[in-house]
Amino acid sequence: MTSLTRRAFLKSSVAASAAATVGLPVSKAVLAQAKTAEAGWAWDKAVCRFCGTGCGIQVATAGGKIVATKGDPAAPVNRGLNCIKGYFNGKILYGADRLTQPLMRMKDGKFDKKGPFVPVSWQAAFDEMERQFRKAYAEKGPAGVAIIGSGQYTIQEGYVAAKLMKAGFRSNNIDPNARHCMASAVAAFLQVFGIDEPANVYDDIELADSVVLWGANMAEAHPILWSRITDRRLAAKSTKVVNITTYRNMSSDLADLEIVIAPSGDLAVQNYLARELLARNAVNWDFVKKHCIFATGPTDIGYGMRPTSKFAYDAEKDIQAKELENTLDEAEAIGQRRKAGEKVAQKSRASAGAHWQITLEEFKRGLEPYTLDYAAKVAKGDPDEPMEAFKAKLVALADLYADMKRNTMSFWTMGFNQHQRGVWVNEQNYMIHLLLGKHGTPGNGAFSLTGQPSACGTAREVGTFAHRLPADMVVNNPKHREITEKGWKLPPKTLNPKPGSDIMGILRDLEDGGVKFLWVQVTNPFQSSPNANHWLKAAREMDNFIVVADCYPTLSGKVADLVLPAAMIYEKWGAYGNAERRTQMWRQQVEAPGEAKTDVWMMLEFAKRFRLADVWGEKPLPGLKDPAFPEGRLPDVLAAAKAMGYSPEQNLYEVLFATPENRKVAWPDPVAKGHGNATVKALGESWFVEKALFEEYAQFGRGHHHDLAPFDLYFRDDVRGLRWPVVDGKETKYRFVEGQDPYVKAGEGFNFYGGAFKAIPTGTLDGVTDPKPVPLPGKAKIFFRPYAAPVEQPDKDYDLWLCTGRILEHWHTGSMTRRVPELNRAAPSAVLYMHPKDAEKRGLKRNDTAWIESRRGKIRMVVDTKGRNQMPRGSVFAAFFDESLLVNKLVLDAVDPISRETDFKKCAVRVTKA
């Protein structure tokens, strides 16, 4: 066949396969031709590796390589479609700069922090890692070592990392990049429902009459879900789409109502809506009285910055000082029933998440200031929009929510989560849906979407956070520690009861010398974290050792001391859990290049180097105050371990992972259908590591509202993931609802059975009046949360808002999507979107280069005044994917004080012509 006819043949085959995948009629002859073109290929089901949507794909391999990918027509999430990121699923494995051997900074044949990277053997890499780990551990104890992971961890990777750190090294310093992305959603789930993860499912899109986006540009960030919303909007004419945003974006194109709000204006708008629902008597009182209570919490909670100015640049000190005392502006004072100009000491910084029950009357009193006039004044985001027009939009929004006949879905991601009051603003959305009685039922619900592919399935549910244990348990709950110690066969008091450092905490610990050993896995924190100049300097100039395991050279790799080459997605076995509780698994399809190895193998090999005697003796833990523990120390548990049959000479691999039970799970296994297993092969073992560890992990959730199915079931040909709880092989669509959720009994209607924070004191809007905890079994909480002003706002020196986020073609920090060689050659650098008048005022026009400067740093970017994002005057937007234009040098590292999640969406900058 000539190359021309071969090309034509391939094209018609691709067309035929694509048509068949999405159900377009094609003739048998055409399909037969497609089959011929694919002769010799092996197709297998897998999951897209890019975002939290969780699209099912099919992967074709031939000759040991992936040659094609396609949307999985049987996948209910995406029904055969991929989004633009799908172009990378296969190709991303074959970038020219894949890391294929360990690289260590060396001079004269030895590790040297100031040396250049030199290829070394795995043996040499582990030897130095072990030496450095032991040094940090001996000097600082469990608090001196840390892991930063992510929502890109497979379930098994996250489980190994959490168990190694928490049970082995007795350190809670493990935190995922998901902290930057989902933590506010999590804290709100726990405070409102007592249990993490959404009640609704994607199927609700096709049942919704009103779809309201709150700070979620789904057209760019969740294109496949957006395609379903588009279909719904076009198929059912009465469907309305509302885009609530701080700037006009691609999602506005479909929207019936676009509401441009000011940063943090969402807090005021949602209280206005709740006030309206009450005023219009659009409340489902039967539901509220049976299933809900009202609650509130303190407002003087700070902004999650350091309480000291010791590490602040001079320019940062004015904002940093607000961490301890803030002066109320007029909007904040009205929203909190106080006086403008009042100085408020931030006394509840350490108890930001405390909350108590209030009466309906108090709840109403809290909402009283949130009139249309007030909400509109606080929230109007476009200075060029007339006030009356903006008010009309808020009324139209209230009309949609208050219409009891309309099914209503609210969606959000980073606009809510990356917010100095992210937990509050999440809780306000549940407030609205619970008042309406429209939550967790077909077509109705407040739905928190996710960013990363297994932010839910791994980071949250496995518990790779500094305070969490598997299945929603937490380290500072003695009962949870006991359950986990039993499950993991650990002596009592092995687990550390003191929450570790969250991701910003770990970076700050590097800067102040608290953490001296850091292992970064499947993430790029030195690019993805705010106020980057501090942490880049800390990595290179402080006495510490930073290990980065990755597939490609990232910015984090560049500032590391040791870089470990990691196997990628389809080069290993794995499992992800998406935003609708759907757990999906895949088989290893191909082998990793060169010396690249799975993260699971790296951790298991490292575990082999530590004996129980090294880690389970008495360990210092400065600041530990717990009645069950000696002050500032974790006790020696070696004697108890001996009594359990362990020898102090056993290593952590044997004790935590290659247990007698796990060794019974044999490899090879028929479920593999002949596929390989890189972890097992590199270990030289005959137990199925990923299956054994998944089953071990799943024990924690089964029977406790988090039931995962047996490992093999996920690989059955007709299964495309299952939404937990999976009880008796049956998945659950709607949680908390009778007839849907196996944990809700007949006659209950709804049961918000989550157990966290289910006994709280009683009080008023101003504080606790009776500290005695009152149990609230089965209830959800409707929170009153006031408006709070952003801690840094534009002023005369830094006169523009900066918002950062994603764009369609790039995901993560670009470490995946920026890697494919042709992309690197000509990909446009991140641009600064700004209003043409703001540009003109500064002598700038489209495509000019400008300096963008904040209190924390300065970078140059190219100005765009009429691209896909159209900014109101006074605001600029930049995407964060570009490593050469490190936008995070500008961003403030304030975090939500309850969730510790960073606010990437609002800080102040100035822009000048470069």
Partner 1 sequence: MNLSGILVVVPPARLDAAITDLSTLPGVEVHHVDPATGRLIVVQEADGVEAEMAGLVAIKARPHVRLAEMVYHYFAPEGEES
Short-list 801, 525, 586, CA closest to 156: 586
Does residue 87 bind partner 1 (CB under 8 A)? Answer: yes
Q: Toward partner 1, which CB reaches closer, 24 or 644?
A: 24
Which span (196-204, 271-279, 600-608, 824-832) binds partner 1, by CB under 8 A? 824-832
Q: Is 252 exposed, middle or buried (0-12, 13-18, 19+ CB in 10 A)?
A: buried
Q: Toward partner 1, which CB reaches closer, 81 or 562?
A: 81
Within 63-82, the residues that bind partner 1 by CB under 8 A are 65, 67-71, 80-82
Query: Coil, helix or strand for 114?
Result: coil
Which span (175-183, 257-265, 289-297, 822-830) binds partner 1, by CB under 8 A? 822-830
Does residue 32 bind partner 1 (CB under 8 A)? Answer: no
**Whole-number minimum distance, CB 19 to partner 1, in Å?**
4
Q: Toward partner 1, which CB reaches closer, 18 or 207?
A: 18
Cβ–Cβ under 8 Å, residues 437 and 284: yes
CA angle, 380 then 381 then 386, to 5° = 55
Does residue 315 bind partner 1 (CB under 8 A)? Answer: no
Query: Using the rule CB under 8 A, which residue among 314, 388, 649, 822 binds partner 1?
Result: 822
Choice among 414, 431, 473, 907 that is catalytic = 414
**Whole-number minimum distance, CB 825 to partner 1, in Å?**
8
To the query of whether residue 871 is one of the catalytic residues in this protein, the response is: no
Alpha helices in 382-476 (DSSP H): 387-402, 414-417, 422-436
Choice among 45, 48, 52, 85 that is catalytic = 85
Sorted by sequence, the CB contacts under 8 Å of residue 252 that are 6+ apart come out as 243, 245, 258
Distance CA 699, CA 662 (A): 13
Cβ–Cβ under 8 Å, residues 811 and 92: no
- x/- mask, partner 1, residues 2-31, rule CB under 8 A, reads -x--xx--xxx-xxxxxx-xx-xxx-----
Concatenated DSSP letters of 637-693: -HHHHHHTT--TT-BHIIIIIS-HHHHTSBSS-GGGTT---HHHHHHT--B-HHHHH
To the query of whether residue 568 is one of the catalytic residues in this protein, the response is: no
Using left for φ > 0, alpha for ψ between -120 and 50, and beta otherwise, residue 900 falls in left
Within 215-274, the residues that bind partner 1 by CB under 8 A are 223-224, 227, 230-231, 234
Number of residues that bind partner 1 (CB under 8 A): 51
Pairing of strands 356-358, 292-296: antiparallel
Concatenated DSSP letters of 867-912: SS-BPPTTEEEEES--TTS-GGGTS---B-TTT--B--S-EEEEEE
Distance CA 876, CA 869 (A): 9
Does residue 809 bind partner 1 (CB under 8 A)? Answer: yes
Cβ–Cβ under 8 Å, residues 904 and 850: no
**Whole-number minimum distance, CB 578 to partner 1, in Å?**
18
**Whole-number minimum distance, CB 52 to partner 1, in Å?**
17
Does residue 837 bind partner 1 (CB under 8 A)? Answer: no
Q: Toward partner 1, which CB reaches closer, 232 or 393?
A: 232
Choice among 451, 500, 514, 574 that is catalytic = 451
**Whole-number minimum distance, CB 539 to partner 1, in Å?**
31
Within 857-876, the residues that bind partner 1 by CB under 8 A are none
Choice among 83, 104, 182, 803 that is catalytic = 182
**Whole-number minimum distance, CB 555 to partner 1, in Å?**
21
Within 590-629, the residues that bind partner 1 by CB under 8 A are none
**Backbone angles phi and psi of 280, in degrees to 5:** -90, 0
Query: Using the rule CB under 8 A, which residue among 392, 542, 768, 808 binds partner 1?
Result: 808
To the query of whether residue 907 is one of the catalytic residues in this protein, the response is: no
Q: What would the two tokens of residue 28 be?
A: 């048998």
Q: Toward partner 1, which CB reaches closer, 233 or 438?
A: 233
Concatenated DSSP letters of 204-256: GGGG-SEEEEES--HHHH-HHHHHHHHHHHHHSTT-EEEEEESSB-GGGGT-S
Distance CA 42, CA 332 (A): 61
Within 880-899, the residues that bind partner 1 by CB under 8 A are none
**Whole-number minimum distance, CB 80 to partner 1, in Å?**
6
To the query of whether residue 357 is one of the catalytic residues in this protein, the response is: no
Q: Give the chain's length.
A: 914
Query: Using the rule CB under 8 A, which residue among 86, 198, 577, 794 binds partner 1?
Result: 86
Choice among 181, 292, 305, 551 that is catalytic = 181
Residue with tokens 């209910």: 76
Query: Using the rule CB under 8 A, which residue among 83, 469, 515, 726 binds partner 1?
Result: 83
Distance CA 143, CA 140 (A): 6
Query: Using the rule CB under 8 A, which residue among 88, 137, 193, 784 binds partner 1?
Result: 88
To the query of whether residue 181 is one of the catalytic residues in this protein, the response is: yes
Which span (89-97, 148-156, 208-216, 781-789) binds partner 1, by CB under 8 A? 89-97
To the query of whether residue 834 is one of the catalytic residues in this protein, the response is: no
**Whole-number minimum distance, CB 252 to partner 1, in Å?**
15
**Backbone angles phi and psi of 701, in degrees to 5:** -95, -25
Concatenated DSSP letters of 838-873: HHHHTT--TT-EEEEE-SS-EEEEEEESSSS-BPPT
Residue with tokens 């050469």: 884
Q: Is 677 exposed, middle or buried (0-12, 13-18, 19+ CB in 10 A)?
A: buried
Query: Using the rule CB under 8 A, which residue among 341, 668, 771, 821 binds partner 1?
Result: 821
Does residue 89 bind partner 1 (CB under 8 A)? Answer: yes
Q: Toward partner 1, which CB reaches closer, 165 or 820?
A: 820
Within 451-470, the residues that bind partner 1 by CB under 8 A are none
Distance CA 679, CA 658 (A): 13
Query: Coil, helix or strand for 177?
Result: helix
Q: Which residues bind partner 1 (CB under 8 A)?
A: 3, 6-7, 10-12, 14-19, 21-22, 24-26, 65, 67-71, 80-84, 86-91, 94, 96, 223-224, 227, 230-231, 234, 808-809, 820-823, 825-827
Catalytic residue numbers? 85, 181-182, 414, 451-452
